Amino acid sequence: MSLKSVVTGARLCVAPLRQAAAARLSTSARHGVSYSPVPKPLQGKMKLFQTDNGLPVHVRGGPLDKMLYAITAVVCTVGLIECFHVYYVLSYTAKKD
């Protein structure tokens, strides 16, 4: 028997053992984890945002969410316009006399 065949045989035997050990470690690690309870106000918000009521997520919070969404859209639009304005100014500089 050559050394190469012995090494190949050992690798074939060790690979399933490594996979089994990794599976045992990953499942046993989950059992020891304990999480703190979710506060009541957060539970209410979770129910509100996870129910399927036909509204997009960004407006489920009511009028405040609608206002914040509108302000964000306006700020992004103004920023995009200003970005193109800067490109225009940098591309077409004023002629020097």
Burial track 11-23 (b if 16+ CB lie within 10 A, e otherwise): eeeeeeeeeeeee
Q: Does 41 reside within a domain?
A: no
**60 and 90: one domain?**
yes
Beta strands of 1-97 (E only): which ranges?
A: none
Domain count of the chain?
2
Q: Does 39 reside within a domain?
A: no
**27 and 60: one domain?**
no
How would residue 25 be classed by pLDDT, with cut points 50, 70 and 90? low
**28 and 56: one domain?**
no
Q: Which domain holds residue 80?
A: 52-97
**57 and 87: one domain?**
yes
What is the Cα–Cα distance from 49 to 22, expressed in whole angstroms?
37
Which one of 24-28, 32-36, 67-71 scores highest in mean pLDDT? 67-71
Decide if pLDDT at 50 tops 70.
yes
**56 and 27: one domain?**
no
pTM for this entry? 0.49
How would residue 34 be classed by pLDDT, with cut points 50, 70 and 90? confident
What type of residue sits at position 68? L
Specify whether the CB–CB gap between 83 and 75 falls below 8 A.
no
Decide if pLDDT at 27 tops 60.
no
94: left (phi over 0), alpha (psi -120 to 50) or beta: beta
